[in-house]
Structure 1
Amino acid sequence: MRPPADVRAAYKAAPHLTHVELTWREGRVEHWLRFGRPAADQRLDAQRRIASFAPGSIFCFVRWASNAYGTIVSRIDIVRVPGPGDAYQTLPFVRRGGELLLSINGWPRVEKVLHAVDGVEALGLDPIEAAPDYWRHVHNRLTAGQVPRAYALDQHRAWLARRSIEP
């Protein structure tokens, strides 16, 4: 299924960016960003917009949907935007895709990820600055039914030091 013409036009306007389709229909379809810094933001109508991210950016995309019988989708993805020539995974509503640092389904586990994000913010840090390995850790622990460790300032300082010497 092809995206609508207005969405395709947004993709063509900035092909070097990764575009995330966000929809908000209260109580039915709620796609939103928990964190991330879009390079561009385009409102399509009252309920839809496209947030576009530059290569290397990290964002957290939450999807929730329901029907007359209850919740049908609860999902959270933390994604790093690939650069030109980088490998990436595809995922719904994200054009061209990205490197999945975390991908969790089911509201109880999604809520635990949201608490982990809150924990990073409680340290006075923007979650996009947290070590990507931390988000992988949270993914792996929750997938295994374990409790993830909290992010620590020592861990963050180590990440910043490692990042400063990586090519």
Structure 2
Amino acid sequence: MSTPRQIENSAAATGTKPHITRVELIWQEKEIEFWLRFGHPRAEQIVDAHRRVVGFAPGAIFAFVRWHANEYGTIASHLTIACAVRTCDPCQSHPFIDPGAEILLKLDGWPRVTRALEAIDVIEAMDISPEDVAPDHWRHLHHRLAAREAPRGYSRLRHAAWLKRRELER
């Protein structure tokens, strides 16, 4: 796996800008934990013992969890499911995601984050990779959980329909 620096250097040599979305991951046990729930990074760079940066190709979908705590317990928890974009494409800015991404789901608060993580577990139990789930489902899940409503489940039939649609769009 190449590092973001290697990608930037090869892009500079060819005169092009790299199309990679970088996500900073931090792990300080029981204090700050930023991690990926799912996603297939194209590149990885270890910054130090507690930090690394991963890079995603355009179109890659990933889930990014941010959790903070202090001696009294959890301070904040966030879950973001995003789609990596090309450097020239419009995108939403987001902390620790550079240059930004198309945000499909963004939830704050441990109860909502937990419900979304459970929904991801259900999808994986059906042997469906969360990276391949229809982006519309992640948007639906975001809106239903933000409204404190029960989301519709994702089914194999819905997934098959999405795969056919994606095939036609290519």
- TM-score of the superposed pair, with normalisation by structure 2: 0.88
Partner of 2:101: 98
From 93, 114, 119, the equivalent of 1:116 is 119
Partner of 2:26: 23
The alignment yields a C-alpha RMSD, in angstroms, of 1.8
Structure 2's unaligned 5+ residue stretches are 12-17
- TM-score of the superposed pair, with normalisation by structure 1: 0.90
Alpha-carbon offset, residue 43 of structure 1: 1.1
CA distance in 1, matches of 2:5, 2:54: 14
Equivalence map 1:16-165=2 (5 Å): 16-165=19-168
CA distance in 1, matches of 2:92, 2:55: 17
Partner of 1:3: none
The amino acid of 2:66's aligned partner reads R
The amino acid of 1:76's aligned partner reads L
Structure 1's unaligned 5+ residue stretches are 1-7
Whether the aligned pair in 1 keeps the contact of 2:87 and 2:99 (CA below 8 Å) is: no
Partner of 2:14: none
SS of match in other structure, 1:161: helix
Partner of 1:5: none
Whether the aligned pair in 2 keeps the contact of 1:11 and 1:19 (CA below 8 Å) is: no
